[in-house]
Chain A
């Protein structure tokens, strides 16, 4: 054989093989894939593979009217859809200079926080299920359903509420709704000790979660991690407090911080944020009856509305992290460009790849769920 025809064949060692986590895999959140190379039990290389949930949202939004897109945006993050429509509305309001009436702002806060509680309850269940404990998932999803019932009552949709308009909210709260909210909130709070006993004080779970997927504060700043994952590394940063939108600056709540930065710390942050959200909802429920006024600022005929030319960057703290909409208008009937900065775009791709590498096969799913990655945000 001539030298130039010789092709070197590399044989990886026999204990090294490829493993596909996803897209059809119970250890993956949603429809997402992670191709890992495993050496024994240790992962030497990981590569995220997205796009399974790609619908071309940004293209679709350029083809539809400003108002039509309100029903489109919640679909970008399914477990926590409310921040999407609020954020999109905020971006339009900023461009067109609409002042949102105060009552609408309080109602939006109520919606956002209920959605956050629902999303966190969902995440616990998923995280517990990746370590083999299914009971928290069964409990969490069932309790989350009570909040979905609330959503159904006041917005009409269980998951996708489509309740916001640029300029305010669509409808007044139903009669006696606030009492129901407090009832559900009280119930969920009374359930928390049971979750603690089952899940957060479970010795086996603590043993599994501690030290898994450690993000240092330095690294998370470098890689653009936001939200609960950033707070779990010891940096007290919350858009609700530090870049306040709506009426969050009038509300009393704490920014929860944990130091360790591992899966356990991230879960603990979410657990405590649940309490903070309950606290905020209580304040809103107490304050809402005294706040009167309009539900929405007057906007032009939405079917022929030309939002003035301009751009804005609206940010909201969703349950996953910093959610941002960059909206550009050229004065037309349809948005010229809407860029969705999903929080998971950061921690579900680069961060996940990095955290998983060097870890163990059994911790892949746990790492992903503890980061609370939401693939549709990545794919859009």
Chain B
């Protein structure tokens, strides 16, 4: 086992440190996957889930809504239309959250590199914690990928979700390049970053300025009787 880095742990009294340890220990062992089949790699997920490979052994189980989930599996290529929905889903998930890019297409476009319809580098639009390459990766590969994610979480090394807050400007810029300047999501990422103390150097920038200019405040849902 690798030595656990001290600086990754929150400073404070012993009790809170023990609590953090426990928290991280449990977090590594209970991962809820969002049930969203974005691409063709999703066909290898049922075998992973079901009787033969049984990922519940690792404490991983599918959940149906982004609010409940911890892991966003991008199973293969994401078309631009899907990417919009993936962004909405990603921002709705509660942190700490992890993104796993399954299949070669999430790395570099895969065999659809010529295609006008698919996004090529997933890493540009959201921070990815782990890639499982292959077209498509076998269930064993997915399970071993999940295992290494579990190990990373336990060691406190998988903190990529913080990057999204800290470098929001970069990610937003790439999204705007693809979706146009009017792009906005219902989630107030900057507000969340401020609230949870995750504002970094890259949180604000030219792209967030564009966002603040075009952003229309969300209205509360109309109540009708």
Contact = CB atoms under 8 A, between A and B. Distances in A.
A30 B115 contact: no
B50 A137 contact: yes
Which of the four size classes fits the interface of chain A? 35 or more
Top-8 shortest CB links A-B: A142-B51, A141-B50, A24-B36, A138-B50, A78-B40, A141-B46, A78-B43, A142-B52
Contact of B116 (A11, A59, A139): A59
Contact of B81 (A11, A54, A60, A63): A54
A63 B114 contact: yes
Given A23-B82, A25-B64, A30-B42, A60 B114 contact: yes
Given A24-B34, A24-B66, A31-B38, A137 B46 contact: yes
B115 A55 contact: yes
A55 B117 contact: yes
A159 interface: yes
A72 B42 contact: no
Contacts of A158: 44, 138
B79 A51 contact: yes
Given A24-B34, A55-B77, A78-B40, A60 B82 contact: no
Interface of A: 11, 14, 23-26, 30-31, 51-56, 59-60, 63, 71-72, 75, 78-79, 122, 125, 137-139, 141-142, 144-145, 148, 158-160, 376, 379
B35 interface: yes
B10 interface: no
B44 A14 contact: no
Contacts of B14: none
A139 B51 CA distance: 7
Contacts of A78: 40, 42-43
A52 B85 contact: yes
Nearest to B224: A14
Interface string B197-225: 00000000000000000000000000011
Contacts of B79: 51-55, 379
B159 to A, nearest CB: 25
Contacts of A142: 47, 50-52
B177 to A, nearest CB: 19
A53 B35 CA distance: 16
Given A54-B79, A59-B116, A159 B225 contact: no
Contacts of B160: none
Interface in B44-90: 44, 46-47, 49-52, 62, 64-66, 77, 79, 81-82, 85, 89
